[in-house]
Structure formats: C-alpha cells, structure tokens
Amino acid sequence: MVLISNQFPMSTFLLEVGTEELPADFVDSAIAQWQSRIPQTLDEYFLTPEGIEIYGTPRRLAVIIKGLPEKQPDREEEVKGPPAKAAFKDGQPTKAALGFARKQGVEVDNLFLRDTDKGEFVFVQKQISGRPATEILTELIPQWIFGLEGRRFMRWANGDLKFPRPIRWLVTLLDDVVLPVELDNNAEIIKSDRISSGHRILSPKPVEIPQATDYQSCLRNGYVEVKPETRRETIKSQVESAAKQLGGYTPLYPELWEEVTNLVEWPTAVVGKFSSEFLNLPQEVVTTEMVSHQRYFPVFKTEAATEL
C-alpha cells in the first residue's frame, strides 16, 4: 500500500463522556485503555494526530486529540484475488476473474498476475480516496466508549447500554463543530452536544464549551480539574501544608493518594479532629479506619509516624 501525501488542515477534537460518579479504580483503568486503544485505532485509519491527551475525574472521561488531519490521505492499495489458474483459461478471464474485478470496481484489463510463495495470483491496484475525519470519528466514538473493560458494569433506564455508571451527557467537538453522535439506550437517547457540567457541589450548572481547545479552561471555571496529575499534586501540596501548620507530619499512603485523586474533581484539604479517647486504641486500628474506610490522611507528631 502506498499513501499519497496530501496536505490537510489540522483540527483539535474533544470527546467527553459525562457520568454518575465512577469507581476510582476504573478511572485509571479507562485512561490506560484509551491511551493504548485510541492512538492505535487512529493509526489504523490513517489519521495519525500530533498528540493525544486523556483525562479522567469521578464524573467524566475525556480525550483531546491535537493536530488531527481533516481527512485520510488518498492511497494506492494492492488487493489479492484468486489464483491465476482459476482466473484465466486459455488467456480468457473466467467467472472468478470477472467477479473479482466487479467486486473491486475495476475493469478486467486492470488485473495483473504476480508470483507469490503460494503460486501465481491475480492482483489489482486500487486508488482509494481518503474519508473525512468527521465521518470516521462518528463511527469510532461509540466503539471507544463501549470498548472499555472493567470489573463491574451496569444497565440503566431500562436500556441495553452497559457502563460502570450511567452516562448523562456527551460532548463531541471537532474544533468548534459538534459531531452528531447518538447513544441509543432504548427509552433514553444520549445525543452529543457542546454542554458539559461543572462540579456537582461548587458549580452545579451546565458548562458550554465553545471549541475543543477551550475544554480545560471552561471546566476549571466550573471548579473541575480534569488532569489527574494536577489533582494528585494539589492533594500532596495541600495535605503536607495542612500537616505542617498543625506541627505534624502525614505519610501520603500511595494507594490512598491515588484513590483520592479519582474521588474528587476540585481537591480542597480540610483539617478535622476526633475525640482523643480513640487514641487509647491500637494505632493500627485508628489508622486503618481513617485510611481504608474514611479515606483520611492521618497526621502524626513526627516523621517516624509512631504517634498520632
């Protein structure tokens, strides 16, 4: 196959899948799956972009594709047909050759023979015009969404669609144009738009996204930080600062840190207290309850983490 170099304008594409609160471990899993699957799929469709960024929060999964070609390049492709001995008899094309030519949309005169390791076969060289990116993306979006795998999925609204939590909205923007995509869940049809949603408590209102490149700034205005790594560092900074102000120290507990990153959309550390009588319990009992059940970061008196 030969790709014919065509220069097309580059676009930015945004996909956001808005949901009810997702399990924290699924957010990381979904991001990892999309990081592998989306670039691979775009390469297969000859739409290799300049860059892909994938984000996740408790209420949304999103991908921004930068430098996406407007359409596939035109290409030349060789298609293998039937064996030569079945395609021609006494120099004349048989039904096998005629059928192959008809299927490929060419005249029999365009067929040629070539030796392979399995003998001589009929081939044809086809000119294939590239398809628009809009057309391909509308096909791929449902595949990307429902191709995600996880431990527990559910149905909702008496529908057949399955996802870890109900899907509530869908944003699909190619630059400033909404790509028409529908997720048919029987009684409920989820249609794509440019309307996202802000933080459930701090900004519980629709967020309009004018164009794909505005995504992060629009969501931050709605008190949503879509980048997990930014939320992770914010949590670290705020927890360490709060512990320092208390004259103490808190280990970050890597698993808790990762989980809390995907439990919040706008991290804000709050200092809390509990009755000192609970300090009479074994420290492991107290910290296990705080870390594993309540998702709190314990504050210790010293870095040795031997006394709360």
- The span from the CA of 231 to the CA of 304, in Å, is 27
- C-beta pairs of 276-279 under 8 Å, 24+ apart in sequence: 279/308
Per-residue model confidence (pLDDT) at position 127: 86
Per-residue model confidence (pLDDT) at position 238: 96
Per-residue model confidence (pLDDT) at position 237: 96
Residues 6+ apart with CB under 8 A from 41: 140, 143, 144
Provide mean pLDDT across the span 294-308.
77
Is residue 305 predicted with pLDDT exceeding 60? Answer: no
Written as one letter, the residue type at 246 is: L
Is residue 301 predicted with pLDDT exceeding 90? Answer: no
Q: Does the reported pTM lie above 0.75?
A: yes
Is residue 174 predicted with pLDDT exceeding 70? Answer: yes
CA proximity to 14, closest of 71, 54, 46, 50: 54
Is residue 4 predicted with pLDDT exceeding 60? Answer: no
Per-residue model confidence (pLDDT) at position 163: 97
> What is the pLDDT confidence band of residue 166, given thresholds at 50, 70 and 90?
very high
Domain ranges of the chain: 2-72+132-221, 75-128, 228-293
- Residue 86: how many CB atoms within 10 A of its CB? 15
Is residue 99 predicted with pLDDT exceeding 70? Answer: yes
- The percentage of the chain sitting over the pLDDT mark of 90, rounded to a whole number, equals 84
Task: For the chain, give the mean pLDDT.
Answer: 93
Per-residue model confidence (pLDDT) at position 80: 95
> What is the pLDDT confidence band of residue 182, given thresholds at 50, 70 and 90?
very high
pLDDT tens column, 123-156 = 999 888 899 999 999 999 999 999 999 999 999 9
Per-residue model confidence (pLDDT) at position 296: 93
pLDDT tens column, 241-258 = 999 999 998 988 999 999
Provide mean pLDDT across the span 116-122.
95
pLDDT tens column, 201-210 = 999 999 999 9
> What is the pLDDT confidence band of residue 291, given thresholds at 50, 70 and 90?
very high
Do β-strands 119-128 and 112-116 pair in parallel, antiparallel, or remain unpaired? Answer: antiparallel
